[in-house]
Protein backbone atom coordinates (compact mmCIF):
# COMPACT_ATOMS: atom_id res chain seq x y z
CA UNK A 1 0.00 0.00 0.00
CA UNK A 2 1.41 3.37 -0.99
CA UNK A 3 0.98 6.58 0.93
CA UNK A 4 1.80 7.70 4.42
CA UNK A 5 1.91 5.14 7.23
CA UNK A 6 -1.13 4.45 9.34
CA UNK A 7 -1.13 5.54 12.95
CA UNK A 8 -3.13 3.50 15.44
CA UNK A 9 -4.37 5.32 18.52
CA UNK A 10 -5.87 3.72 21.62
CA UNK A 11 -7.96 5.60 24.14
CA UNK A 12 -8.57 4.73 27.80
CA UNK A 13 -12.35 4.59 27.32
CA UNK A 14 -14.81 4.00 24.51
CA UNK A 15 -16.32 7.42 25.28
CA UNK A 16 -12.96 9.14 24.67
CA UNK A 17 -12.60 7.38 21.32
CA UNK A 18 -16.17 8.30 20.33
CA UNK A 19 -15.57 11.93 21.27
CA UNK A 20 -12.46 12.09 19.05
CA UNK A 21 -14.29 10.42 16.16
CA UNK A 22 -17.26 12.78 16.42
CA UNK A 23 -15.27 16.02 16.75
CA UNK A 24 -12.38 15.40 14.38
CA UNK A 25 -14.00 16.90 11.27
CA UNK A 26 -14.72 20.20 13.02
CA UNK A 27 -11.09 20.36 14.19
CA UNK A 28 -9.89 19.41 10.70
CA UNK A 29 -11.68 22.42 9.17
CA UNK A 30 -9.82 24.77 11.51
CA UNK A 31 -6.39 23.24 10.84
CA UNK A 32 -5.36 23.13 7.15
CA UNK A 33 -2.49 20.77 8.05
CA UNK A 34 -5.11 18.07 8.71
CA UNK A 35 -6.91 18.50 5.36
CA UNK A 36 -6.00 15.03 4.07
CA UNK A 37 -6.18 13.18 7.40
CA UNK A 38 -8.83 10.51 7.83
CA UNK A 39 -9.84 8.74 11.02
CA UNK A 40 -12.02 5.70 11.45
CA UNK A 41 -12.97 3.28 14.20
CA UNK A 42 -11.29 -0.12 14.54
CA UNK A 43 -13.12 -2.57 12.28
CA UNK A 44 -13.11 -6.30 11.56
CA UNK A 45 -11.81 -7.42 8.15
CA UNK A 46 -15.37 -7.75 6.84
CA UNK A 47 -16.39 -4.34 8.21
CA UNK A 48 -13.24 -2.76 6.78
CA UNK A 49 -14.02 -4.20 3.32
CA UNK A 50 -17.57 -2.79 3.56
CA UNK A 51 -16.21 0.56 4.84
CA UNK A 52 -13.83 0.86 1.88
CA UNK A 53 -16.47 -0.23 -0.62
CA UNK A 54 -19.01 2.26 0.75
CA UNK A 55 -16.50 5.12 0.69
CA UNK A 56 -15.48 4.23 -2.87
CA UNK A 57 -19.15 4.48 -3.89
CA UNK A 58 -19.69 7.76 -1.99
CA UNK A 59 -16.56 9.31 -3.50
CA UNK A 60 -17.60 8.23 -6.98
CA UNK A 61 -21.05 9.79 -6.53
CA UNK A 62 -19.56 13.01 -5.13
CA UNK A 63 -17.03 13.18 -7.97
CA UNK A 64 -19.86 12.79 -10.48
CA UNK A 65 -21.91 15.56 -8.81
CA UNK A 66 -18.80 17.71 -8.14
CA UNK A 67 -20.38 18.41 -4.73
CA UNK A 68 -20.34 16.66 -1.36
CA UNK A 69 -23.77 15.10 -1.41
CA UNK A 70 -22.99 11.63 -0.03
CA UNK A 71 -21.14 10.27 2.98
CA UNK A 72 -20.86 6.97 4.86
CA UNK A 73 -22.71 6.32 8.11
CA UNK A 74 -22.75 2.92 9.80
CA UNK A 75 -20.90 1.45 6.81
CA UNK A 76 -23.65 2.54 4.38
CA UNK A 77 -23.69 5.31 1.75
CA UNK A 78 -26.22 7.98 2.71
CA UNK A 79 -27.25 11.28 1.19
CA UNK A 80 -26.33 14.30 3.34
CA UNK A 81 -29.40 16.23 4.50
CA UNK A 82 -28.57 19.90 4.13
CA UNK A 83 -30.73 22.64 5.62
CA UNK A 84 -33.16 24.39 3.27
CA UNK A 85 -30.85 27.19 2.06
CA UNK A 86 -27.53 25.51 2.89
CA UNK A 87 -25.01 24.96 0.10
CA UNK A 88 -23.40 21.50 -0.08
CA UNK A 89 -19.96 21.25 1.48
CA UNK A 90 -17.06 21.81 -0.90
CA UNK A 91 -15.77 18.76 -2.75
CA UNK A 92 -12.43 18.25 -4.43
CA UNK A 93 -12.72 15.75 -7.28
CA UNK A 94 -10.03 13.14 -6.74
CA UNK A 95 -8.70 10.20 -8.70
CA UNK A 96 -10.31 7.02 -7.35
CA UNK A 97 -6.91 5.31 -6.95
CA UNK A 98 -5.75 7.96 -4.47
CA UNK A 99 -8.61 7.38 -2.07
CA UNK A 100 -8.98 5.05 0.90
pLDDT, residue 7, reads 84
pLDDT digits (tens, 9 = 90+) for 38-59: 888 888 999 999 999 999 999 9
- Cβ–Cβ under 8 Å, residues 62 and 78: no
pLDDT above 80 (res 97): no
The residue with greater pLDDT, 30 or 4, is 30
DSSP run (H or E) holding 77: strand 76-79
Query: What is the distance between the alpha carbons of residues 66 and 18, in angstroms, rounded to a whole number?
Result: 30
DSSP run (H or E) holding 76: strand 76-79
Query: Could you tell me which of 4, 87, 6 has the C-alpha nearest to residue 40?
Result: 6
pLDDT digits (tens, 9 = 90+) for 9-42: 889 998 998 899 889 888 888 998 888 888 888 8
pLDDT > 70 in the chain, percent:
92
pLDDT, residue 99, reads 46
| Longest distance between any two alpha carbons in the chain, whole Å | 41
- Cβ–Cβ under 8 Å, residues 91 and 68: yes
Amino acid sequence: MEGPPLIKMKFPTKEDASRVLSTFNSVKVKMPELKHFVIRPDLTKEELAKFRSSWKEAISKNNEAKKRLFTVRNLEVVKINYKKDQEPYSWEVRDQQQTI
